[in-house]
Amino acid sequence: MFKAALMSGWHVHAEGYAEEFNRIPGCRVAAVWDEDPARGLRLADRLGCPFYDTAEAALSAPGVTAGILNSPTTAHLPLIELMAGLGKHIFTEKVLAATHQEALRAREAVERAGVIFAISFPHLGNPGVKAAKAILDAGRLGQAAYARVRNVHNGAVAGWLPAHFYDAAQCGGGAMIDLGAHPMYTLAHLLGRPETVQSLFTGVTGRPVEDNAVCLLRFPGGAIGVSETGFVSSGNPYTLEISGARGSLMLHESLRVCDETTGMKWQAVADLPPPSPSPLKRWAQACLGEGSVPEELGMAAAVRLSAIMDAAYRAHRSGCAAGVPG
């Protein structure tokens, strides 16, 4: 039995990860720790496992060989260093760390320990995103010139997002570092590491962090990426657009492409690839010896996202474009 400790219920996805992990054959959440003991006790009761009042005690519980990290973003680094130091495999909610320097320290700890690591980048397993990547890589669109990814929800206006998601001391920022991670890692997956980032962050609801945000990314070769996110939009589905010298595509509920193979007319893509297993399942399978963590969910991709976010927030503070650290 592969046993993991659930490290905090702070993030809105924490309980869902625990339930999903328990559904994977041979896997079980066997311990819970939380910086908020009352929340941790409630989680442990629902999951039917013990609560431990220190992170080290939870990770040292009988049979536990891994941790599923859902703590405040700004607490990721010390917990990753603790887990790695104890030789525990690590699955983490995005982002890896609030700054690039912290991400590098997390990478060093994981690589030194030799543990299996994965980050939650679930949109990369979406059939439409997978098909868009394949079309781009096949050269059907020619040289990429522009890509836009929009991912929003209404958590701030509908009142369902926990109050701590508006606390920069815990999150490292607002909408962009949380929900905006999905457009950012998707753009990097499609176009590579950007060179610079420009940011426009606003507040619609008057909270102390941005709840409405756009970043412009410049990629090698001149391609422009647009990352749009926010907690203040309703009824606005996920959107992905890519335009190139020879064609374009759009994912908006369905995937459509316009290129030479379609006679330069918009046409739906009928045969999409199947969805990939979730990042959590890919990690669990790797820990069970049933495969490996794919590169796009590994440490290099995780550090790249933190570098991009670091640049986005530096650009926001300065009002100028910021370089993405290498």
**Mean pLDDT calculated for residue range 255-264:** 97
What is the tally of helices (H) and strands (E) in the chain? 11, 14
User: What is the tens place of the pLDDT at every residue in 123-161?
Assistant: 999 999 999 999 999 999 999 999 999 999 999 999 999
In tens, the pLDDT along 75-98 reads: 999 999 999 999 999 999 999 999
Q: Band of the pLDDT at 237, cuts 50, 70, 90?
A: confident
Say how many C-beta atoms besides its own lie within 10 A of residue 138's C-beta: 9
- pLDDT tens profile 109-120: 999 999 999 999
- Are 171 and 165 in contact by the 8 Å Cβ rule? The answer is yes
Is the pLDDT assigned to residue 24 strictly greater than 90? yes
Q: What is the mean pLDDT of the chain?
A: 97
pLDDT band of residue 23 (cuts 50, 70, 90) is very high
Tens digits of residue pLDDT in 163-207: 999 999 999 999 999 999 999 999 999 999 999 999 999 999 999
The number of CA neighbours under 13 Å toward the Cβ of 137 is 9
Residue 189 is predicted with a pLDDT of 98
Residue that is written with structure tokens 């990314």 in the block: 217
DSSP string, 187-255: HHHHH---SEEEEEEE-SS--SS-SEEEEEEE-TTS-EEEEEEESS--S---EEEEEESS-EEEEESEE
Domains, the chain, ranges and CATH?
2-122+279-294 (3.40.50.720), 123-276+305-323 (3.30.360.10)
The pLDDT confidence band at residue 18, using thresholds 50, 70 and 90, is very high
pLDDT of residue 302 exceeding 90, the answer is yes
Residue 236 has pLDDT above 90, yes or no: no
Residue 19 clears pLDDT 90, i.e. is over it:
yes
Q: How much is the pLDDT for 326?
A: 86
Which residue type is seen at 234? S
Residue 247: predicted pLDDT: 98
Asked if 145 and 223 touch (Cβ cutoff 8 Å), the reply is: yes
Percent over 70 (pLDDT), the chain: 100
Question: Minimal CA–CA distance to 75: which of 110, 31, 106?
Answer: 106
Q: What is the mean pLDDT of residues 58-80?
A: 98
pLDDT at 313: 98
Are 87 and 66 contacting, i.e. CB atoms less than 8 angstroms apart?
A: no
